[in-house]
Chain A
Amino acid sequence: MAKQFEKRDRRFLGIGVQSAIKGFFGGNALLSIAILLLICVFLGKEAFLFFPDHHKGLQLYRKSGQEYVDGMKRQVEDHADLNSLMAQAYFAEKADIAGREWGVVDAFGYLVDLAEDEGEDEIDAWADAREELEDAEEDAEVKRAESEARAAWGEKLGEILAKADRAEADRFGRLEAGEWERLKASMAEWDPVEEEPPAFVVQAEKDLKAKMGTFEAARNAFAAAVGPLNDLKETLRGKAMVVKEEAEADLTAVARKKALVEGAAASTNSEDRQRRLDEAAAIVIREKFPFAERTEVFYESKPEHARLAAEYLVALKAAMELVPRAPGSKEAEARLTQIRSELPDVLQDFSRNSVMVQEWRHDKPYGWWRSISAFFFGKDWVTNSSWHDFFGLLPLFTGSLLISVIALMVAVPFAVSAAIYVNQLARRWEQTIIKPAIEFVQAIPSVVLGFFGIMVLGTFLRELSQVEALSWVPGFPMAERLNILNAGLLLGLMAVPTIFTLCEDALNNVPRAFGEASLALGASKLQTVWRVIAPAAASGILAAVLLGFGRVIGETMVVLLVAGNKIAIPDFSEGIGVITQPAHTMTGIIAQETGEVDKGSLHWRALFMVGLILFVISLFLNWTAQRIIHRFRIA
């Protein structure tokens, strides 16, 4: 008798079709989880190896004396910032109170350059003729030749003066009426051989000196104050560099020696073998690099540094005394006020750096916490440097954050109101146009958007920023075409579809009954949206914003092309105007630098660490969004 309820499944190698299908789908799910885990493990491993290497690097930075030299370097750099303000003040004053004289001297310089350039042959001929005349004063022939040469020069000068371009000579329009003509006329007095300026110019130079003499002295004294300290720094810098290079070579000595010996053994050319063996013999293998001995020079320089630092403070004070109390120019006064207000901070930093320099010891242990915070809170990201590579996340993080915040500030109002409009207020035909149009933005490749940002938006923004009527806007006129604002606007555009779609879903999930109940109570459509629908969808909208944030902070191509890629913490002193500065981002730096680093190097690991942090940020945003949606779900 045939069995009644026999399995009718076809089998292959003992596996039924049903279980094969089940296995296929289950296997796929498992595979994707496994790949995700692998990525996490790989990323985590490579990234966390960064910290030991980074720590070693920073230890070497201290032991080699680079840290010591950088203390002085910061002192010199702080001074340079002040010095540039001083120069601005000086030139503003010069333009304002001695503009005429400055204009005359400048225009004269232009005319001299032009004449010497154009009339070179005539001047040379005249000079030769005069030389000959000196030797043979009585010779009529020579006399005649000299006067001919002089006439030729005179003629040439006339031509040159006719050609001279006033706009070029007096680019800032400092000359007063008639002075250009007077200057040209006085050029006849100018002797191109002796290079004596005409009396008119001599007078102007004298006036200029009378007006600006003290300020110029002050400025020069100010600039020169740091000179000796800078010289000391430069000398020590070279020494620290040598120590570092030798110490690094020492670390690889064993490996290099081994490689050379092996290479010699494998070499067939006896000359080559000998060369390799000699090189290998030259490599000294030391138990320990004698840092104490090699850094003695730094300890010896400490008293000198102390002396120069004290001298600097005295010189700076003296220079500040020289600066005119009441400059004639508003601009100069503003700059000088700025210098005076910044001076206490600079001096405080100076003495802090002095203390650091004086207390520096090559063998002071470098704390783990310090090297970790040097990554997370470090203000410099300097790579491929011959001096020392710094891996500080802060400039990249700030850039990413600023750009994302701007992007969200642009995208959220647009996307949320568009979603509310489409979902609640729009007519059907409007829905059929708006929804696909917004979602289409997602289809634009980010590189195309970046290209648009460079070619169109950047140019437009800069031209807009140069409009006189808009000069009150913070950060306007903007110096850079590629900057945070530009990148933020484009990323905002990219985030709109993400936020819009998720928001619309959130609004759709609000039960219709809420809207009906509100309308039946006599609420208008807008009141209903504002008081019932939007609050009920608020958690979904918040989640949409967070996911949009995740999208924006992870975006690479646009920021790489448009953000300006300047690795520095933007200057927040301008307030909101900070957004017109260029910046670099965490995603951008990975895209830009990964291609050119050695596998396994500290730089490589640093990039992985940045990647890991991005991953963690995205993970956190997604997780939070999920939590919010889950928690506030309406039954």
Chain B
Amino acid sequence: MSFVPQLNERSMNEINFDATPEPALPAEIPVMSPAKSRGTEGKEAAKSLIEIEDLGFSYDLGQTETLRNITLSIPKGQVTSFIGPSGCGKSTLLRCLNRMNDLIDTAKVTRGKIKIMGQDIHAADVDPIELRKRVGMVFQKYNPFPKSIFENAAYGMRIQGVKSQKVLAEAVERALKQSALWDEVKDRLNSSALGLSGGQQQRLCIARAIAVQPEIILMDEPCSALDPIATARIEELITDLKENYTIVIVTHNMQQATRVSARTAFFYLGELIEVGPTTKIFGNPSKKQTEDYVSGRFG
């Protein structure tokens, strides 16, 4: 991996200018990418769970657009990776999917819409709290609460008002088993979650997210703070989880994207450059920018 995380807007623009001899017109991409995806995976379009249509997003009330013209459909029951250099907007897009960006006062969707299970999530009658119960999230830095392991896993149930100790215990056990943590912690469910190792803590965060049985799990670079062994376990876990959940994962690690995801979307400077089956994106990308990035020529 040779990306440079500290690239600023200006240097990115320079790279853009140098690396793309054929200027990617904003209007072209939305036309092209669905066309491509329809052509190659027409069957999956029917199963699509998340539909992003011509999305524009701004962090400063529309003065500058961080995301532009994103049109993308994410199929159900698969792992989709978002890749791209730092600052390309992939995390921002991820956080649009459960409306976490609402927490920033000046953040605003400027154009387009996001449909999850056919419902426009920015519609007036949508409660972001209800949305987030169905769309779980795992963060870059593992962040279990300073509570016991049990309470961490049970948190989502508790805030939904579940009081029965039996129901909670069952849900916690199921979630911890699904996240492959059960055998390691079953004897110390009441000890603090902060006493676990980094990899265990991240798996606990995944357990916490799946305990409420969401439809979708968003993962924002879930392994970037972990060592290779812990990373391998999380990747294994992601592979297991795709049976039951639709997963969207943001990653900087291209090997990871090839290992865990069926589809990959490449973002650059707030735009979706290319989306397709992971093998195609890494083996035979149709865009020069994508090829430059996946072959490590920049980013």
A and B associate in one complex: yes
- Taking the closest CB of chain B, its distance from the CB of A526, in whole angstroms, is 10
The interface size bin for chain B is: 20 to 34
A461 within 8 A of B: no
Contact of B156 among A521, A535, A635 (CB under 8 A): A521
CA distance A26 to B100 in the complex (A): 49
CA distance A518 to B100 in the complex (A): 11
B245 within 8 A of A: no
In the complex, residue of chain B having the shortest beta-carbon distance to the beta carbon of A532:
B145
User: Cβ of B146 and Cβ of A535 under 8 Å apart?
Assistant: yes
Given the complex, which residues of A lie within 8 Å of B139, measured CB to CB? 513, 516-517, 520
Interface residues of A in 492-521 (CB under 8 A from B): 511, 513-514, 516-521
A178 within 8 A of B: no
Contact of A511 among B98, B132, B143, B159 (CB under 8 A): B143
Chain B CB within 10 Å — which of A514, A517, A531, A634 has the most?
Answer: A517
User: Cβ of B146 and Cβ of A634 under 8 Å apart?
Assistant: yes
CA distance A536 to B152 in the complex (A): 13
A527 within 8 A of B: yes
User: Cβ of B147 and Cβ of A535 under 8 Å apart?
Assistant: yes
A575 within 8 A of B: no
A220 within 8 A of B: no
Contact of B136 among A511, A521, A523, A531 (CB under 8 A): A521
- Taking the closest CB of chain B, its distance from the CB of A431, in whole angstroms, is 12
User: Cβ of B132 and Cβ of A521 under 8 Å apart?
Assistant: yes
User: Cβ of A516 and Cβ of B130 under 8 Å apart?
Assistant: no
Q: Mark B65-85, 1 if CB is under 8 A from A, else 0.
A: 000000000000000000000
User: Cβ of B132 and Cβ of A531 under 8 Å apart?
Assistant: no
A267 within 8 A of B: no
Given the complex, which residues of B lie within 8 Å of A635, measured CB to CB? 194
Chain A count of residues within 8 A CB distance of the other chain: 21
User: Cβ of A428 and Cβ of B105 under 8 Å apart?
Assistant: yes
Chain B CB within 10 Å — which of A523, A527, A532, A635 has the most?
Answer: A523
Given the complex, which residues of A lie within 8 Å of B141, measured CB to CB? 513
Given the complex, which residues of A lie within 8 Å of B105, measured CB to CB? 427-428
A417 within 8 A of B: no
B103 within 8 A of A: yes
User: Cβ of B143 and Cβ of A516 under 8 Å apart?
Assistant: yes
User: Cβ of B136 and Cβ of A520 under 8 Å apart?
Assistant: yes
B205 within 8 A of A: yes
User: Cβ of B133 and Cβ of A516 under 8 Å apart?
Assistant: no
- Taking the closest CB of chain B, its distance from the CB of A16, in whole angstroms, is 40
Given the complex, which residues of A lie within 8 Å of B156, measured CB to CB? 521-522
CA distance A519 to B130 in the complex (A): 11
User: Cβ of A520 and Cβ of B159 under 8 Å apart?
Assistant: no
Given the complex, which residues of A lie within 8 Å of B171, measured CB to CB? none
Chain B CB within 10 Å — which of A522, A536, A635 has the most?
Answer: A522
Interface residues of B in 134-157 (CB under 8 A from A): 136-137, 139, 141, 143-147, 155-156
Interface residues of B in 77-113 (CB under 8 A from A): 98, 100, 103, 105
A524 within 8 A of B: yes
- Taking the closest CB of chain A, its distance from the CB of B224, in whole angstroms, is 14
B212 within 8 A of A: yes
- Taking the closest CB of chain B, its distance from the CB of A512, in whole angstroms, is 9
Given the complex, which residues of A lie within 8 Å of B144, measured CB to CB? 517
In the complex, residue of chain B having the shortest beta-carbon distance to the beta carbon of A522:
B133
User: Cβ of B143 and Cβ of A517 under 8 Å apart?
Assistant: yes
CA distance A532 to B209 in the complex (A): 16
Given the complex, which residues of A lie within 8 Å of B158, measured CB to CB? 531
Given the complex, which residues of A lie within 8 Å of B100, measured CB to CB? 516, 519-520
Given the complex, which residues of B lie within 8 Å of A527, measured CB to CB? 159
User: Cβ of A536 and Cβ of B145 under 8 Å apart?
Assistant: yes
Contact of A521 among B147, B155, B194 (CB under 8 A): B155
CA distance A520 to B103 in the complex (A): 11
Given the complex, which residues of A lie within 8 Å of B159, measured CB to CB? 518, 521-524, 527, 531
User: Cβ of A518 and Cβ of B103 under 8 Å apart?
Assistant: no
Given the complex, which residues of B lie within 8 Å of A524, measured CB to CB? 129, 159
User: Cβ of B155 and Cβ of A522 under 8 Å apart?
Assistant: no
User: Cβ of A517 and Cβ of B208 under 8 Å apart?
Assistant: yes
Given the complex, which residues of B lie within 8 Å of A518, measured CB to CB? 145, 155, 159
Given the complex, which residues of A lie within 8 Å of B8, measured CB to CB? none
- Taking the closest CB of chain B, its distance from the CB of A424, in whole angstroms, is 11
Given the complex, which residues of A lie within 8 Å of B155, measured CB to CB? 518, 521, 523, 531
Given the complex, which residues of A lie within 8 Å of B133, measured CB to CB? 521-522
Interface residues of A in 424-452 (CB under 8 A from B): 427-428
Chain A CB within 10 Å — which of B132, B147, B159, B209 has the most?
Answer: B159
In the complex, residue of chain B having the shortest beta-carbon distance to the beta carbon of A634:
B146
Given the complex, which residues of A lie within 8 Å of B129, measured CB to CB? 522-524
CA distance A428 to B104 in the complex (A): 11
Apart from A514-B145, A520-B136: 11 A-B pairs, beta carbons within 8 A: A511-B143, A513-B143, A516-B143, A517-B205, A518-B145, A518-B155, A519-B103, A520-B132, A521-B159, A522-B129, A524-B129
* 28 cross-chain CB contacts under 8 A: A427-B105, A428-B105, A511-B143, A513-B141, A513-B143, A514-B143, A514-B146, A516-B143, A517-B139, A517-B145, A518-B155, A519-B100, A520-B98, A520-B100, A520-B132, A520-B137, A521-B133, A521-B159, A521-B208, A521-B209, A521-B212, A522-B131, A522-B133, A522-B156, A522-B159, A523-B159, A634-B194, A635-B194
Closest 8 A/B residue pairs (Cβ): A522-B133, A513-B143, A520-B137, A522-B132, A521-B156, A523-B159, A517-B143, A527-B159
Residues of B at under 8 Å CB distance from A? Answer: 98, 100, 103, 105, 129-133, 136-137, 139, 141, 143-147, 155-156, 158-160, 194, 205, 208-209, 212
